[in-house]
């Protein structure tokens, strides 16, 4: 598969390359577990939406920069590896919260995904069997989040929560959601507020072994994996792109980051389920 795609890249037929990485050692079933985005009960989510959330509003005519890259602003923690645990929702949401906390306080802190995995069951998440990003923001708003140094990641869910109020280092006042498929709204939020967590279609083998370039695929289906949008721009040959931070380690993509096609019909649902803390 990688040779076929790379040959197409050299022929100018695709805009990205692939290579074997650490995920090659996983079975397909183990890899599917890592796609841990799970939508909560729809009725329950709608019933609470007015109390907890509002959609992001913006001026569609407002000027926005052509290039935004939050990697250059010191608001992002290092790329991490979720391992064989469906915890992408925790890593993605905490990435947005880490950036928000840095912008608000000047302190960059690695927040604890284990805190989320162990302690958000009653909010509707399911530990290493998946969860939803806005539920992380609701929990953070109510309880606050502990630093990873105090609550280390162990690659599995534990039957007890070790949260202590005295250890809390970050919280948020609420969150905004981006309307489904609204790439202009997502661009506006990334430019004005900072990194935004989204839910993409991430089960494709071509995405599993993505190496470089601007990713696009006709094989994308439903949203299955949470990633952090940390910027956007335009390539002179391949067009508009989003910059994504993944949680599959630094051997995936460009040291853990990737580029996905922008303004191409919500490619791989990249502008779906977007949210960020406020």
Enzyme catalytic residues: 88, 225, 246
Residues 221 and 194 sit within 8 Å (Cβ to Cβ): no
The enclosing H or E element of 146 equals strand 145-146
| Paired tokens of 205 | 């083998």
Taking the chain, what is the end-to-end CA distance rounded to the nearest angstrom? 42
Centre a 10 Å sphere on the Cβ of residue 15 and count the other Cβ atoms it contains: 19
Instruction: Spell out the residues 6+ positions from residue 68 whose beta carbon is closer than 8 angstroms to its own.
Output: 190, 191, 231, 232, 233
Distance CA 143, CA 167 (A): 11
Residue 126 structure tokens: 């399911």
């Amino acid at each position: 598969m990688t040779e076929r795609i790379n040959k197409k890249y050299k022929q100018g037929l695709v805009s990205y390359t692939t290579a074997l990485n650490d995920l090659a050692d996983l079975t397909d079933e183990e890899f599917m577990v890592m796609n841990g985005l799970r939508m909560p009960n729809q009725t329950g989510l709608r019933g609470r939406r007015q109390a907890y959330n509002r959609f992001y509003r913006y001026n569609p005519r407002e000027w926005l920069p052509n290039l935004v890259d939050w990697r250059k602003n010191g608001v992002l923690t290092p790329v991490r590896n979720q391992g064989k645990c469906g915890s992408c929702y925790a890593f993605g949401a905490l990435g947005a919260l880490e950036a928000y906390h840095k912008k608000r306080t000047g302190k960059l802190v690695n927040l604890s995904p284990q805190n989320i995995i162990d302690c958000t069951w009653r909010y509707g998440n399911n530990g290493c069997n998946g969860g939803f990003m806005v539920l992380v923001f609701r929990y953070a708003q109510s309880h606050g989040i502990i630093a990873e140094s105090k609550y280390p990641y162990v690659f599995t869910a534990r039957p007890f929560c070790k949260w202590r109020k005295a250890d809390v280092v970050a919280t948020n006042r609420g969150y905004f959601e981006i309307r489904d498929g609204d790439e202009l709204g997502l661009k506006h939020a990334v430019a004005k507020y900072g990194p935004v967590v989204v839910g993409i279609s991430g089960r494709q083998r071509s995405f599993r072994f993505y190496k470089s370039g601007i990713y696009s695929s006709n094989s994308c289906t439903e949203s299955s994996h949470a990633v952090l949008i940390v910027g956007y721009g335009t390539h002179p040959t391949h067009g508009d792109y989003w910059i994504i931070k993944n949680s599959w380690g630094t051997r995936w993509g460009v040291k853990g980051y990737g580029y996905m096609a922008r303004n191409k019909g919500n490619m791989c649902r990249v502008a779906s389920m977007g949210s960020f803390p406020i």
